[in-house]
Structure 1
Amino acid sequence: MADQEGKYNIKAAALMLGVQPGTLRAWERRYQMIAPVRNEAGHRLYTDEHIKILKWLIKKVNQGFTISQAISLMSHTHTQMESETINLKQANPLMNLTDSLYDALIHFESDKVNEVINKLFSIFSMEKVIGDIFIQVVTKIEISYKSGNLTNAQRNFSFTFLKARITTIIHSLPNNVHLHKAVCISFSKEGDHFGLLIFTFYLRTKGIEVLNIGTYHSLEDINLTMEIIHPDLFIISCEDKKDLKEALSLINQLSHNYKGLTIGLGGEAITEMDHSEKKHFSTYLLGQSINEWEKWLIERMVY
């Protein structure tokens, strides 16, 4: 009976599971997949059995299922949760569809691309498709292009197609006028700014209004933009190491001139920063994944 005793409060459970307490509350409220016991003060207490169930669900979410699909799968048969032997067809929709999307893109099959993308959105969450699957495909295309296995036309078609789908979705997401406004700028004078587009999508899913002002030109332009827009966030994307010094200089200028401004730095150039630079600018570093972006935003803003 020990596994049926309430042992862990919600903070302890969230720490064990690697999720936010708010995520657990939302799942319980919406799906009622577990019912934590309550102590005398009315606080949730999770049993070992609850933790076991939640760990299994989180594992499925990390494999690409939405939480509702994972719960449906669990309720369909508990033996799956015990044995962890999921049918190969169920376990690998992500791998098969990711490969299909890549193949359709590099063969210029527009109808097939749309078909696969629509299938992805019917199976996985919007965040999973755009923030994970599209990035995987773009990375694979970039590697293939640089190794000489794809033409410039194949690369451009693929990137343009995916960017168009993401942009359409971004424009369809509602703004929350009571929340924050962000300005995004890139130091890449060439390239596809794909990472910045993904981050724009992430901010828009939070209801934040995002204004992308393109490529950096001068501090004077930035100051005029700040006077007009008065943003709460200023996001800088830097992909090339040669632009990093200027990007870091802009951060110093902005942090000095606009005390209440939250500033973020993202892009491949971050990986080229030395240890001392990373330490000095650590408060500005967004990270490379949606999970890291989430943590960064939670620590700096209320939304």
Structure 2
Amino acid sequence: MAEQDGKYNIKAAALMLGIQPGTLRAWERRYQMIAPVRNEAGHRLYTEEHIKILKWLIKKVNQGFTISQAISLMGQNQTVMDSEEINLKLGNPLISLSDALYEALIHFEQEKINEVINSLFSIFSMEKVVIDVFGQIYMKIEESFSTGKITKAQRNYSTLFLEARITSIILSFPTHHHHNKAVCLTFPKGGDNNSLEKLMLTFYLRKRGIEVINIGSFHSEEDLKATLNLIHPDLLILSCEEINDLESALSFVELLSKHHQDFSIGICGEAITKMDPFVMEQFSPFILGRTVNDWEMWLTERMIF
């Protein structure tokens, strides 16, 4: 019964939670997710249960959810907080679920794969699962294949499954035709059209309302010019995976930048990480980077969003 007694005023509660009292008041007023008791003077008093709920909501916000999404998630499954608390006591759920997904993938256990992925999405934000979890597992699969720990069939099944799942998520996002447009292409002709890094970047852009048009491999300057005149993009992203193609790709970027001031140009891909430091410095305005923070900073500087 003591758990239901109000014992923390709003300043103490806000200090424990790491947020401003005004934020806490605004959340309560808008969403009514808790109802703190009042003392004789009319001041709010928070119970241990209130603090537990608020800590869970703040954790979700820190994972990338909006407060309204976090409250909706809590409302959809009243047992989710208790189950997460049990998981946290047993160990880090991110690590345990990531390991479980890897094992399910390399053993072709489709039912288990879907079960683990559903658990991941119930605990972590969509961006956390796609970019961090799927990305790490993809690299682990490639490493396992290169060291002979898994077969080519295991590698192909696992990577294709992850790529298909990410693609299905991307396709589920609504298209806003009045928003910015990005054109993605792979250099050179015959390059990999579906590299995971490009899929991750596409997911990131689509989640932020940017329309992404993937035109596949580069064919010719004339073909690309005609395509850009049809689309009128705000952003052109060129992906280069092979170091042998890098010099040609950078020359093409340099040429485009001289003749097109109407859109921003970004380059990404495995080959970019192997650039000579001097060349990297020279082309730094075009390098997108490989993390969400890199992408956020690059796009914000160019006022893409």
Q: Structure 2-normalised TM-score? A: 0.72
- Letter of the structure 2 residue corresponding to residue 93 of structure 1: P
**Cα distance between partner residues in 1 of 2:137 and 2:112:** 15
Of residues 155-164 and 62-71 in structure 1, the stretch that sits farther from structure 2 once superposed is: 62-71
Question: 1:220–1:30: structure 2 CA closer, same or farther, 3 Å change rule?
Answer: farther
Please state whether the residue corresponding to 1:210 is helix, strand or coil: strand
Query: Is 1:171 the equivalent of 2:194?
Result: no
Give the Å deviation of 1:302.
4.2
CA distance in 1, matches of 2:237, 2:260: 14
- C-alpha distance 181-253 of structure 1, shift in aligned 2 (>3 A): same
Give the match's secondary structure for 2:229.
Answer: helix
Partner of 1:89: 89
Identity of aligned residues (%): 51
Aligned to 2:142: 142
Paired residue type of 2:282: H
- CA distance in structure 2 between the aligned counterparts of 1:139 and 1:133, rounded to whole angstroms: 10
Structure of greater Rg: 2
Q: Which amino acid aligns with 2:156?
A: N
Gaps of 5+ in 2: 1-10, 12-17, 29-54, 74-85
Q: List gaps (5 residues or longer) in structure 1.
A: 5-16, 18-23, 33-55, 73-85
* Residue 60 of structure 1: how far off its partner (Å): 5.8
Q: Helix, strand or coil for the counterpart of 1:292?
A: helix
Task: Report what 2:132 is aligned to.
Answer: 132
Partner of 1:248: 250
Tell me, in whole angstroms, the C-alpha distance in 1 between the residues paired with 2:25 and 2:253.
41
- With 160-169 and 182-191 compared, the bigger mean Cα shift is at 182-191
Match of 2:230 among 225, 228, 231: 228
1:278 is aligned to 280
Calculate the TM-score normalised by the size of structure 1: 0.72
Cα separation, 1, equivalents of 2:202 and 2:93: 27
Count of aligned pairs: 247
Asked if 1:218 corresponds to 2:220, the answer is: yes
CA distance in 2, matches of 1:103, 1:30: 44
Q: Contact 1:181–1:232 at 8 Å: present in 2 too?
A: yes
CA distance in 1, matches of 2:296, 2:64: 19
Structure 1 CA distance for aligned equivalents of residues 180 and 201 of structure 2: 15
Q: Which residue of 2 aligns with 1:51?
A: none
In 2, Cα distance between equivalents of 1:116 and 1:187: 35
Task: Between 88-97 and 144-153, report the one with greater CA deviation.
Answer: 88-97
Matched, 1:185 2:153: no
1:83 equivalent in structure 2? none
Aligned residue in 2 for 1:289: 291
Write out per-residue CA displacement over residues 100-143 of structure 1, whole angstroms, 9 at most, x where no aligned residue: 11001101111111111111111111100111100000000000
Distance change (3 Å), C-alpha of 1:148 and 1:117:
same
- CA distance, structure 1, for counterparts of residue 230 and residue 26 of structure 2: 41
Question: Distance in 2 between the 1:257 and 1:230 partners?
Answer: 14
Select which of 260, 267, 270 maps to 1:268: 270
Deviation at 1:178, TM superposition (A): 2.4
- Taking only aligned residues, the RMSD between alpha carbons, in angstroms, comes to 3.3
Asked if the contact 1:236–1:264 (Cα under 8 Å) also holds between the matched residues in 2, the reply is yes
Give the distance between the partners of 1:181 and 1:94, measured in 2 at CA. Answer: 34
